[in-house]
Structure 1
Amino acid sequence: MTDRTLHLPVAAQPRVETLLEYAVRGEDCGYERVWLPETWGRDAVSVLTRVATETDEIGLGPSICNVYSRSPALLAQTATTLQEIADGRLRVGIGPSGPAVIEGWHGDDFDRPLRRTRECLEVMRAVMSGETVDYNGELFTLGGFRLRCDPPDEPVPIDVAGMGPTAVELAGRFADGWHATVFTPDGLRDRLEDLRRGATLGDRDPDDVRTTLSVTACALEDGERARELVAGHVAFYVGAMGTYYRESLARQGYEDVATEIATAWGSGDRQRASALAAELLDELGAAGTPDRAREQLARFEAVDGLDAIAVSFPRGASSEEVRTTIEALAP
C-alpha cells in the first residue's frame, strides 16, 4: 500500500502559523508525514521545530535541505536536534538543489553536486553515530570531534533527492530513500530501475530504499481553476528553474513540449507557457475536481516500487485552496 504524505507549499505563505495549520490539518486527516521544502523563503528548521512541538504523531522532515548552504556536520547536528524535539519522528531529505538556487541565491559554486551529496550523506551518518569523526573525502576532511550531546537513539533516515539516472542510482546505493519530483508514472518506472541497480551495486535490498514521489495536486469543485493553477506551476518549474526539470521531461519523452514551455517563459509569454504545460497535466499532476484528482493520484499509486506519494501544491493556490486539497486528497 502506498502511503499518502503531505508536501507543504513551496510558495510563500502568509505566516509561519499558516504552515503549522496545514501540518496539523494533515495530521488530523491521517497523512503519514509532512515534508517542508526550503528554497528562498522561510528556513525549514525553524518551521519544522514548530511543527514538531505542535503535533503528536505525524512524521516530519525537510524535502529538501540542500548540501551547499550548510556543512555536513551542521546538517547532522540539526537532524540530531530535530529528532530529539520530534521524539523520533524525523526523516531528512537532502540533495544538491540546482544552480539557480545555489549560485543565484546562496552565491556558491554548483560544483560536483553528486559527489557532494554522497560525502554529505556519509559525514552525517558518521556524526550521528556519536563516535569521533575521522573522514577523508574528496571534498570534505573532518577529524577529532564528536557530538557534544547524545546521538539519536535510532539512526535518522536520510533520503536523497534526484532526477537523473546517475543521481537516482546514487540514492539506491547509499541513501535510505529517494525523493522524486516531476515524473510521469512511466518515467518513474524507468528511474526505479536505476534505483534498483544502485541498490544492487551497494549490496542492498532495493525494498529497503524508500521512494517518495511529490505530485503537484489541486482538488477543487472548480476543476478548471485547479488545472490552471497546476499548469502555471509546471510552467514555472520548467521555464524558470534552470534546465534540470526540462532535461528530466526530455528523458521521459517530452523534450519538444518542455523546450517550447521554456522558450515561451523565457520570452515573457507566461500564458502560452501555461497553456503548453496544461498538455502534461494528466501525466504529471493530480488536478481538477476531487474525484478527478483522486483518480490521477491512483495512477501513481499503481506504480510498483513507489512507497509514498507526497501531495504537493501549486504556487498560486490560496490558503483556502490548499486546505480544501488537503482534505479532498486525504488518505
Structure 2
Amino acid sequence: MTVPLDGIPLADHAAGYAAIAEAGFTDVWSSEVNGADAFTPLALAAAWQPRLRLGTAIAGVFNRGPGLLAMSAAALADVAPGRFCLGIGASSPMLVSDWNAVEFTAPLRRTRDMVRFLRAALRGETVDGAFDTFAVRRFTLQRPPAVPPPLLLAALRPGMLRLAAAEADGVILNWLAATDVPRAVAELGERRPHFEVVARIFVCPTEDARHARTLGRRMITSYLTVPAYAKFHRWLGRQEALSAMWQAWAAGDRRAALAAVPDEVVDALIVHGSPEQCRAQVHRYTEAGVDVPVLALLPTPELAAGDPAALATMLARLGPRARTPA
C-alpha cells in the first residue's frame, strides 16, 4: 500500500497502518511529490507496525545530495533491519528544478552514479572521488546499517530499465496498464536472483464509474502531459489514443484536454470497480510479471469523509486476506 494515506494526518496514521497490516498487506511504500517526504511516513510505520516491509518509491537522486540520501537510508535501515528497500529515481524537472532549485541534467547518468555511490556508502566504505555527475570527498557513514538495503530504480523507458537490470536490485514501474507490463519487463532481460519488479497501481475502489473516470482524467492530464511520461506512453503505443489530449494541453485548453482522454485509457490505467473487482484487476499485474503490486488508494465517495472505520473496511476488502471472487 502507498503511504501516507490520503486525507489522514501523519500523526493519526497508527490506526491506518494497523488496518493495512490486519488486511494482509505486506509492504508500505512511500511517495514523494509535494506532501510528506519519502522517509518520515516509513519511520512511523517501522515503529507502529514492525512486521511491515518498507520502501521508498521514490527518493529523488537530485533533491538530496549523495551524503544526505545515504544518511536517510541508513537511518531507516537501522530502524528496520532487513525490512527496508531504497527506491530512487530521477523524478522530473518540475520537482527538481521548479520546486527544489536544482539543475535537472543527465538524469540517467546521475541515477547510475547515485546507485554506485550508495552501494559503497551503505556498506560502510569511505567514498572519495569523482563520478560523472558529482564528486564526493572522503564520505563515510558514521552508522552504516548492519543490513544494507536493496536498491531499486524507478524506470520508464529502455535506458533506465536496462540500467536497473544491470546495477540495481529491482525496478519500480509506474503509470502503466497490466497489458503494458510485458513490454517493460522484456527490457530487463535475464534477471539476477531476488531482483524484484515493483509497480505502483492506482486503485479507485468504487462502483461509481463516473467518479473514477473523472478523477482518472484529471490525473492523466496532470501526469501524462509531463514530457517523460508522454514519451513513455508513446513508447507503449498510445500516440493515437492520447494525441488529442496532448494537442489540447499544448494549446492551453485544459477542458478540451480532459475531454479528449478516452474511457478505455482511463480504464486501463486506473483500476476501479468494487473492491473485489479491483483485487481481480490487480491480480492481472502479477500474472503479467509484477512481483510487488503497490496499491495507491484514490479518493472515492465512500472514503471522502476520511472515516477510519470505512477505510479499515475498504482495506480489508482489498487486501490479500480477502477472498478473491470466483
TM-score by length of 2: 0.87
2:240 aligned with 1:247 = no
The counterpart of 1:209, out of the listed 187, 192, 195, is 195
1:1-331 to 2 correspondences below 5 Å: 6-8=1-3, 13-149=7-143, 151-196=144-189, 205-239=191-225, 242-265=226-249, 267-270=252-255, 273=258, 276-303=261-288, 305-314=289-298, 318=304, 319-320=306-307, 325-331=314-320
Describe the superposition over 1:178-226 as per-residue Cα deviations: whole angstroms up to 9, x where unpaired: 0001112332211111112xxx5xxxx4443210111110112444433
Describe the superposition over 1:3-45 as per-residue Cα deviations: whole angstroms up to 9, x where unpaired: xxx122686x352135554333211211111011011122222
Unaligned runs of 5+ in 1: 1-5
Identical aligned residues as a percent: 27
- Return the alpha-carbon distance in structure 2 between the equivalents of residues 231 and 322 of structure 1: 24
Paired residues of 1:10 and 1:315 also in contact (CA < 8 A) = no
RMSD: 2.4
- Return the alpha-carbon distance in structure 1 between the equivalents of residues 92 and 125 of structure 2: 32
Paired residues of 1:260 and 1:273 also in contact (CA < 8 A) = no
Q: By how many angstroms is 1:138 displaced?
A: 1.1
Matched residues, number = 314
Paired residues of 2:206 and 2:275 also in contact (CA < 8 A) = yes
- Return the alpha-carbon distance in structure 1 between the equivalents of residues 4 and 265 of structure 2: 21
- Return the alpha-carbon distance in structure 1 between the equivalents of residues 20 and 204 of structure 2: 15
Q: By how many angstroms is 1:324 displaced?
A: 5.4
- Return the alpha-carbon distance in structure 1 between the equivalents of residues 217 and 82 of structure 2: 37
The code of the aligned residue for 2:278 comes to A
- Return the alpha-carbon distance in structure 1 between the equivalents of residues 243 and 99 of structure 2: 25
110-119 or 23-32, which moves further after superposition? 23-32
- Return the alpha-carbon distance in structure 2 between the equivalents of residues 19 and 162 of structure 1: 29
The code of the aligned residue for 1:237 comes to Y
Paired residues of 2:74 and 2:148 also in contact (CA < 8 A) = no
Unaligned runs of 5+ in 2: 321-326
- Return the alpha-carbon distance in structure 2 between the equivalents of residues 325 and 238 of structure 1: 28
Paired residues of 1:218 and 1:227 also in contact (CA < 8 A) = no
